[in-house]
Structure 1
């Protein structure tokens, strides 16, 4: 099996990580393309002593660390723009901390694997994760609309959201109900399942909501590969079913981190 064939199944999930890390589909996918171009240009540099997925993320980390300077925030002089606000927030959280959190909580890497990816020690990775969680939880509190037609999953999401200090504005099970709830009580974040009751779509519900006002969205699906192709407009934040509580918490924190309208907690 060629290297390309070995890497292909892991590309959708690398896009998920890159989008969450950058807060942008376009930027995240650009970094993934750069990593792939580096592999094609110098295949002999691809790590041979680890499994292909770990090697792929290691190559991505090399591109990220070499092209994403920590002083990025200092370049923002238009403070009223979303990009400038995201950069200002980025400056308050060590990039390594955010990477450690996403690699473990969202991508499911072990502490040992994350230490390899970040060229750090396991103890340092654990400290980075604690630092990121502490800083992010202090930064953001919001009001969350849950769009989910499975009662048990909806209850789990409500519990996770409230445990993180956020308020749940409502739980919708259909497209029409989701739009009505959003118009009645504007949320600061939307958690949306893809497939809803009565065969309606969470994607369509979100499109209707975004036509009225901007709000960060996290999609939840059992088939993430379908929304991580890099071939069309796709979600920036995506959670895979079945999900872990830590994955949902990390995604919520990251989505709010890049939202210009989120108000820091007192």
Structure 2
């Protein structure tokens, strides 16, 4: 059982791993920690479909999925569309890959092979921080207003990720869009 923060909750996890044997091993570890593995995906397409249909509480994603899309692409999509927290668990590490991975706002980046204790701490930290920032899973789905009005002549379109000043669209950088996305949840 996971100690501390998540012991009394029934958290559901999605595993995205192209190696079925590694995925089953990770599933076994997570079960021993008291977590429910809601879905396992071996391709980017399966992962996106599982995220859409199941809305897990956490996604543990490998970066190299031996497909045209990477785990980073999957993470970007599911974070952007569903605010599902991400932990990367991968054997790939270099500055370029880590920088690309950081664009999807992961809560943790772990290298394989990973000790059970490291995984446990990363999961605890991820779920705690995500709950702290977003308060509850239900509040993530309450997107009632399309615009956030900053002042009388400035508004932000949440659906299009655009800032308007005096009805004129202002080009935002990727980081600015992410900041607005976080602030408007």
- TM exceeding 0.5: yes
Write out aligned runs for 1:225-240 (5 A).
Answer: 225-226=94-95, 227-228=97-98, 233=103, 235-240=106-111
Is 1:242 matched with 2:126? no
Match of 1:223 in 2: 92
Normalized per residue, the structure richer in strand is 2
- 1:221 CA drift (Å): 1.7
Match of 2:52 in 1: 183
Match of 1:149 in 2: 18
CA distance in 1, matches of 2:125, 2:106: 13
Q: Which has the higher contact order (CA 8 A, sep 6+)?
A: 1
Q: Is the Cα–Cα contact under 8 Å of residues 140 and 257 in structure 1 kept in the other structure?
A: no
Q: CA 1:139–1:257 in 2, change beyond 3 Å: closer, same or farther?
A: farther
The higher radius of gyration belongs to 1
Match of 1:205 in 2: 74
Match of 1:159 in 2: 28
Write out aligned runs for 1:106-125 (5 A).
Answer: none
Q: CA 1:262–1:157 in 2, change beyond 3 Å: closer, same or farther?
A: farther
Q: Is the Cα–Cα contact under 8 Å of residues 149 and 174 in structure 1 kept in the other structure?
A: yes
CA distance in 2, matches of 1:207, 1:228: 14
Q: Is the Cα–Cα contact under 8 Å of residues 224 and 238 in structure 1 kept in the other structure?
A: no
Count of residue pairs the alignment pairs up: 130
Q: Is the Cα–Cα contact under 8 Å of residues 18 and 43 in structure 2 kept in the other structure?
A: yes
CA distance in 2, matches of 1:212, 1:229: 21
SS across alignment from 2:31: helix
Q: CA RMSD in A?
A: 2.4
Match of 1:168 in 2: 37
C-alpha deviations, 1:136-189, integer Å up to 9, x for none? 343543110100011221011111211121111111111111001111111010
Is 1:254 matched with 2:125? yes
Match of 1:193 in 2: 62
Normalized per residue, the structure richer in helix is 1
| Structure 1 unaligned regions, length at least 5 | 1-132
SS across alignment from 1:165: coil
Scaled by the length of structure 2, the TM-score of the pair is 0.62
CA distance in 2, matches of 1:137, 1:206: 23
SS across alignment from 1:184: helix
Q: Is the Cα–Cα contact under 8 Å of residues 6 and 127 in structure 2 kept in the other structure?
A: no
C-alpha deviations, 1:49-90, integer Å up to 9, x for none? xxxxxxxxxxxxxxxxxxxxxxxxxxxxxxxxxxxxxxxxxx
Q: CA 1:208–1:228 in 2, change beyond 3 Å: closer, same or farther?
A: closer
